C-alpha cells in the first residue's frame, strides 16, 4: 500500500489492531475504486472470520514448523545453526582431557586455515611462499607440519619416545588416520592424541617465532620442550579418570 496506505485505508497509522477491528469487521472502506484497497479488505475479512476475537492473544516462538508458547534457546540455536553430519576427524581433534589451546590450534590446522606462507603470499606478493624451516619447498600446512625435514625429525623423536616404529606421514590426512586407528595393548590413544597435538602446537609456535626473527630452536631442543610440556599436562590431569597411569606410561617410554 506504500506510504499512503493509512490514508487509502482510512486507518490512522498509529492505530492498534483492536481499533481497526470492530465487531469482527475491519474498518476498511466497503466501496473503493482502488483495487489494492479491495484486495486488502478481502484478505482481512478472511482473517477475521477464522479467529475468535474473545480469545486472548498468545505469543508463539520458534521456526514455522516448530512454534510453541515457550521460548526455547535450543530450538532457536538449532534453527540458526543447523546440525551437520558428524565429522570422521572429530575424535582426533576434540576429546576429553585435551588441552584447549592445543585442540583449537589443531582444529584450525585440520581445516587448513593456518596463515602459512603459501597462503600469505597470495595476499601479499612481496612475501616469500617458501618454508620458514627449510626454504626449499612452498610452505603449505602439509609440508610445514608433516613432510618438512624439521617436522619429520620431531615426529621421529616422538615415535621413538612412544616406542612406535617411525611412520612416514605423506599428508595431514595420514596423521588423522593414525590418530583414529585402534591402539594395541599397552598403548594409550589419549597419550598419542595429547602428544600429537602438543607437537603440532610447538612446531607452529616455532615457525611463528622464526618468522619474527627469534633464535631458531633445533629439533632435539624443541622435543625436550615437548617432553616437558607433556609431563606438565599429565601431572595436571593425574587425578582425572583415565589419566592416572599416563604419566608413568610416558616416563616408561622415555
pLDDT tens for 167-199 read 899 999 999 999 999 887 657 899 999 999 999
Q: Is the pLDDT of residue 148 over 60?
A: yes
- Is residue 41 located within the same domain as residue 98? no
Handedness of CA 201, 137, 170, 176 (dihedral sign): positive
- Residue 104: phi and psi, rounded to 5, are -65, -45
- Is residue 147 located within the same domain as residue 230? yes
User: Closest by alpha carbon to 200, among 245, 123, 152, 145?
Assistant: 145
What single string gives the DSSP state of each residue in 164-210? -------SHHHHHHHHHSPPPTT--HHHHHHHHHHHHHHHHHHHHHH
- Is residue 159 located within the same domain as residue 98? yes
Mean of pLDDT values over 190-215: 97
Residues 6+ apart with CB under 8 A from 120: 127, 129
19-69 pLDDT tens trace: 666 655 665 666 666 777 677 767 766 665 555 556 677 888 888 888 888
Q: Give the Cα separation of 233 and 225 in Å (integer).
A: 12
The reply to whether 56 falls in a domain is no
What single string gives the DSSP state of each residue in 30-86? SS-S-HHHHHHHHHHHHHHHTS-TTSPP---BSSTTS-BSS--HHHHHHHHS---PP
- Is residue 123 located within the same domain as residue 12? no
Task: Choose between 12 and 111: higher pLDDT.
Answer: 111
State the residue range of the domain holding 99: 90-253
Residues 6+ apart with CB under 8 A from 24: 48, 49, 53
- Is residue 223 located within the same domain as residue 137? yes
Task: Choose between 252 and 43: higher pLDDT.
Answer: 252
Q: Give the Cα separation of 60 and 83 in Å (integer).
A: 23
The reply to whether 35 falls in a domain is yes
pLDDT of residue 17: 67
Q: What confidence tier does 141 reach under pLDDT thresholds 50, 70, 90?
A: very high
The reply to whether 33 falls in a domain is yes
Handedness of CA 6, 11, 17, 23 (dihedral sign): negative
| ∠ Cα 147 153 158 (to 5°) | 110
Number of structural domains the chain divides into = 2
- Is residue 39 located within the same domain as residue 137? no
Mean of pLDDT values over 214-229: 97
Task: Choose between 96 and 241: higher pLDDT.
Answer: 96
Beta bridge partners of 130: 138
Task: Choose between 173 and 239: higher pLDDT.
Answer: 173
Does the pTM exceed 0.75? no
pLDDT of residue 60: 86
- Is residue 35 located within the same domain as residue 142? no
Q: Give the Cα separation of 28 and 42 in Å (integer).
A: 10
- Is residue 20 located within the same domain as residue 117? no
Question: Which cell numbers in the block locate residue 118?
Answer: 603459501
- Is residue 113 located within the same domain as residue 194? yes
170 Cα distance to chain centroid:
26
- Is residue 106 located within the same domain as residue 20? no
103-134 pLDDT tens trace: 999 999 999 999 999 999 999 989 999 999 99
167 C-beta neighbours (distance < 10 Å), count? 12
- Is residue 118 located within the same domain as residue 44? no
- Is residue 38 located within the same domain as residue 158? no
Amino acid at each position: 500500500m506504500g506510504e499512503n496506505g493509512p490514508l487509502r485505508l482510512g486507518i490512522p497509522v498509529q492505530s492498534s489492531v483492536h481499533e481497526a477491528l470492530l465487531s469482527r469487521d475491519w474498518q476498511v472502506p466497503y466501496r473503493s475504486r482502488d483495487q489494492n484497497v479491495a484486495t486488502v479488505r478481502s484478505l482481512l475479512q478472511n482473517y477475521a472470520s477464522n479467529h475468535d476475537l474473545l480469545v486472548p492473544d498468545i505469543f508463539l516462538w520458534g521456526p514455522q514448523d516448530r512454534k510453541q508458547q515457550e521460548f526455547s534457546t535450543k530450538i532457536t540455536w538449532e534453527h540458526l545453526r543447523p546440525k551437520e553430519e558428524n565429522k570422521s576427524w572429530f575424535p582426533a581433534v576434540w576429546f576429553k582431557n585435551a588441552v584447549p589451546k592445543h585442540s583449537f590450534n589443531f582444529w584450525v590446522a585440520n581445516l587448513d586455515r593456518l596463515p602459512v606462507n603459501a597462503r600469505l603470499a597470495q595476499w601479499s606478493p612481496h612475501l616469500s611462499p617458501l618454508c620458514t624451516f627449510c626454504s626449499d619447498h612452498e610452505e603449505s600446512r602439509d609440508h610445514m607440519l608433516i613432510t618438512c625435514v624439521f617436522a619429520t625429525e620431531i615426529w621421529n623423536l616422538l615415535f621413538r619416545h612412544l616406542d612406535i616404529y617411525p611412520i612416514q606421514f605423506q599428508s595431514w590426512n595420514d596423521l588423522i588416520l593414525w590418530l583414529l586407528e585402534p591402539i594395541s595393548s599397552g598403548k594409550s590413544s589419549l597419550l598419542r592424541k595429547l602428544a600429537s597435538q602438543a607437537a603440532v602446537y610447538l612446531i607452529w609456535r616455532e615457525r611463528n617465532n622464526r618468522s619474527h626473527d627469534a633464535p631458531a630452536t633445533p629439533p632435539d631442543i624443541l622435543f625436550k620442550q615437548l617432553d616437558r610440556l607433556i609431563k606438565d599436562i599429565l601431572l595436571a590431569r593425574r587425578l582425572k579418570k583415565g589419566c592416572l597411569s599416563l604419566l608413568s606410561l610416558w616416563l616408561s617410554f622415555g
